[in-house]
Homo-oligomer: A and B are copies of this chain.
Amino acid sequence: MGDLSGCRIAWIGTGVMGLPMCGHLIAGGAQATVFTRTKAKAGPLIDQGAAWAGSPADAARAADAVFTMVGYPDDVREVYFGASGVLAGVRRGAVLIDMTTTEPALAVRIAAAAAEAGASALDAPVSGGDVGARNATLSIMVGGDAAALERVRPLLETLGRTIVHEGPAGSGQHTKLCNQIVIAGTMIGVCESLLYARRAGLDAERMLESIRGGAAGCWTLDNLAPRVLKGDFAPGFLIEHFVKDMGLALDEAARMPLAMPGLALVRQLYLAAAAQGDGRAGTHALFRALDRLSKGSGA
């Protein structure tokens, strides 16, 4: 971890991802000012030495780099464009880094507004989940001005292992959506396969051992299939967040226009899973929705 002393950062959003990420930057020597909707959630960071700000604008005021890691696109809009938003406080020359998974078009809009304020903006969503956030092993997909990325690269290298400049503003978001599209496919394949195995009376562990080394091999099979077989549906990654991400990809594709029948179907099945009460279960709880789909509720 490089020496970040002298770096003045703002961090907005201290949930399951943002909290450990900001913690790494403070541990690396950065002077942080934090804001989050529920102040108590920022407690551990304040204990680490972070200052508290009453609004995103106040947090941004003295910062050279402003990080945002919030929930939904509407939260991002509010945090940047609200009356006390980041753009109301940003310094000239600062770099704004939105690490939320959000709309590529919103990333473009933030970049344009930042430029008007004499600042730069990067969209930099991540993959690797809460484990990657805690262990600083995230993959960070960056869109926006390459020179701005170079200025904040030491900060990003404190948060993740793979930092790739994907292209102009919005490209980080597009890349993250590509990631989610692949996962939607592997997830339905793995869940249907496990369900088939169980109904066919196979020893599913043995089946997994046979297939995981070949063309069916995937992260989901290695990491989530064993949890499905144990009946452990704790997140990992929440179904309600995955539903959001798939919706972003489908909306974006509709504008291209590009039909993605596979992704559309998987999202519908996840909506059913959420409707059945599994919105805050892990994404591999798709198995449970598919299981219920073919199960009698009668005698």
- Which of A's residues lie within 8 Å of B, judged by CB? 104, 127-129, 132, 139, 141, 162, 164-167, 171, 174-175, 177-190, 192-197, 199-203, 206-207, 209-211, 213-221, 223, 237, 249, 252-253, 256-263, 265-266, 269, 290, 293-294
Contact = CB atoms under 8 A, between A and B. Distances in A.
Nearest to A161: B213
B256 A215 contact: no
A181 B207 CA distance: 12
Instruction: Name the residue in A215, A223, A266, A290 with the highest tally of chain B Cβ atoms < 10 Å from its Cβ.
Output: A215
A26 to B, nearest CB: 25
A99 to B, nearest CB: 14
11 contacts: A162-B213, A166-B203, A175-B206, A178-B193, A182-B193, A182-B216, A182-B221, A184-B189, A215-B223, A218-B218, A261-B269
A236 to B, nearest CB: 9
Nearest to A249: B196
Contacts of A129: 215
A182 B215 CA distance: 9
B256 A218 contact: no
A23 to B, nearest CB: 21
Given A127-B211, A210-B175, A219 B217 contact: yes
What does DSSP make chain A's interface, helix, strand, loop or mixed? Answer: helix
Contact of A183 (B183, B216, B265): B216
A216 B215 contact: no
A111 to B, nearest CB: 15
Contact of A213 (B139, B193, B216): B139
Contact of A214 (B219, B221, B261, B269): B219
A253 to B, nearest CB: 6
A202 B172 CA distance: 9
A254 to B, nearest CB: 10
Contact of A189 (B167, B211, B258, B262): B262
Contacts of A199: 253, 256, 258
A162 B199 CA distance: 24
A178 B109 CA distance: 45
Contacts of A184: 189
A186 B180 CA distance: 12
B195 A258 contact: yes
Contacts of A253: 196, 199
Nearest to A194: B178
Contacts of A175: 197, 202, 206-207, 210-211
